[in-house]
Amino acid sequence: MCEASISWDKPKRFRHVCPLLVETPDGLRCSVNTADVRPFWRRAFALYGGALLALYLTAAISFFIFLRIVGYPVNIFHTIWPPAWHHLREARGNFFFNKATKAFASGHPSEGVLYLSNAYTFDPANYSAGLMLAKNIQLGQPNLSDSIYQQLLVDHPAQRTATAQEWFRALLARGNYPAIQQLALLQVIDDAPHASVWMRALVLACRQTRNDAPLRALRASTHPAAQPWRMLIDVELALNSGHTDAARSVLTQVWGPAPAYTVFYQVQNLIALNDPFRALDLLNIYGRRLDDEARVTLQLEAFARLGSQRLLQRQTDALLAQAVNFPTVKILAAHLIRHPDSALLDQVYAKFMAAKYPVDNDSAGIYLSLYCAAGVAQDWGKAHAITGVLRQSTGGSFVMLGLMESFFRGDGGQTRVSVFLPAMPMPLEVTYALLERYPGSVYVAPTAHAAR
Task: List the domain boundaries for the chain.
Answer: 3-86, 243-315, 323-452
Return the H-helix or E-strand segment holding 407: helix 399-409
Share of the chain above pLDDT 90, in %: 53
Q: Can you tell me the mean pLDDT for 27-47?
A: 57
Q: What is the pLDDT of residue 444?
A: 46
Closest to 121 (Cα-Cα) out of 144, 153, 140: 144
If phi > 0 it is left, if psi is from -120 to 50 it is alpha, else beta; for residue 28 that is: beta
Q: What is the pLDDT of residue 34?
A: 56
Q: Are 130 and 109 in contact (CB under 8 A)?
A: no
Residue 130 CA, chain-centre distance (Å), reads 9
Residue 391 CA, chain-centre distance (Å), reads 26
The span from the CA of 228 to the CA of 192, in Å, is 11
Q: What is the pLDDT of residue 383?
A: 95
The span from the CA of 37 to the CA of 19, in Å, is 11
The span from the CA of 42 to the CA of 36, in Å, is 18
Q: Model pTM?
A: 0.77
**Helix, strand, coil fractions of the chain, as percent rounded to 5:** 75, 0, 25
The total of other beta-carbon atoms located within 10 Å of residue 8's CB is 12
Q: Which residue has the higher pLDDT, 393 or 337?
A: 337
Q: Are 84 and 77 in contact (CB under 8 A)?
A: yes
The total of other beta-carbon atoms located within 10 Å of residue 207's CB is 17
Q: What is the pLDDT of residue 83?
A: 53
Of 32-36, 129-133, 188-192, 375-379, least confident by mean pLDDT is 32-36
Residue 46 sits at the vertex; the CA angle it makes with 42 and 48, to the nearest 5 degrees, is 120
Instruction: Indicate if the pLDDT at residue 249 is higher than 90.
Output: yes
Instruction: Indicate if the pLDDT at residue 36 is higher than 50.
Output: yes
Q: Can you tell me the mean pLDDT for 376-396?
A: 87
182 residue type, one letter: Q
Q: What is the pLDDT of residue 451?
A: 33
Q: Can you tell me the mean pLDDT for 245-260?
A: 91
Q: Can you tell me the mean pLDDT for 233-242?
A: 94
The span from the CA of 50 to the CA of 46, in Å, is 6
The span from the CA of 434 to the CA of 43, in Å, is 80
Residue 143 sits at the vertex; the CA angle it makes with 141 and 145, to the nearest 5 degrees, is 70
Q: Count each helix (H run) and each strand (E run) in the chain, helices first.
A: 24, 2
User: Whole-number mean pLDDT of the chain?
Assistant: 83
The span from the CA of 119 to the CA of 96, in Å, is 5
